[in-house]
Amino acid sequence: MGLWDAITGRSRAPQPNLDALFAVPSAAIALETELGLHATGVGSVCFRAPGGAAYADTEAEILALLRDDERAPEVTTTTDSFGYTWLVIDGDPAAAPADTEALCTGLHAVNTTLADQGFATGLLCTVVVFGDSAQRRVGLVYLYKQGTFYPFAPVRGHLGQGADPLARDNLLELSVRDVLTGELPLEPDLTRWLGVYGAPGL
């Protein structure tokens, strides 16, 4: 905290440490060993694009920047029901764990390219998707502005009448947290464990 921040009583938000993404492949081994969850090869970066006519121009500019940056992988875009744009990398799950390393390198490159080009304020989170033979899915969510991870496990499958479409598997989320303690910088504030229901692959 600087002198002016101390005088005014303001504190700076934690600076994002994108290199934390490179710890995910090691965490992936722990998840597979302890919980039977394997990387699906899908990862994505959530971006808040401006509304109105500027949206299409912004998306086109983002894609052009990524394609011009040889560090960045090929990405596709999708927009969820909440209006957020997802930049998606869809790798080969059969190549894990090496694929997880490549995936996280790609996600790092996408985040870095956008931040370097002035789009940092629009970056919200990065999600790496894991799954198991029981069709459970868990998104390992990296909060860009906090520099921390948390697990998000939506309840999948057919939703009967009266079922909660926003249900989540809290027990699985806590199990993932327990396994990854010491592996990744985890988000301690559970109120920040927001449901990313529109995330690709979940």
- Is the backbone peptide bond immediately before 97 cis, with ω within 30 degrees of 0? yes
Within-domain flag for 198:
no
Q: Tens digits of per-residue pLDDT, 67-109?
A: 787 777 788 889 888 888 899 998 766 665 668 998 999 899 8
User: Cα separation of 132 and 24, whole Å?
Assistant: 17
**What global pTM score does this model have?**
0.83
User: Virtual CA dihedral for 17, 127, 187, 172, nearest 10 degrees?
Assistant: -150
- Residue at 117 is within a domain: yes
Query: Does residue 129 fall inside a structural domain?
Result: yes
Buried b / exposed e over 124-141, threshold 16 CB at 10 Å, is bbbbbbbbbeeebbbbbb
Residue 110 lies in a domain: yes
Q: Is 201 inside any structural domain?
A: no
Whether 200 is covered by a domain: the verdict is no
Least confident of 27-36, 63-72, 189-198: 63-72
78 falls within a domain:
yes
Q: How many domains does the chain have?
A: 1
Domain that holds residue 166: 12-153+160-185
Is 46 contained in some domain? yes
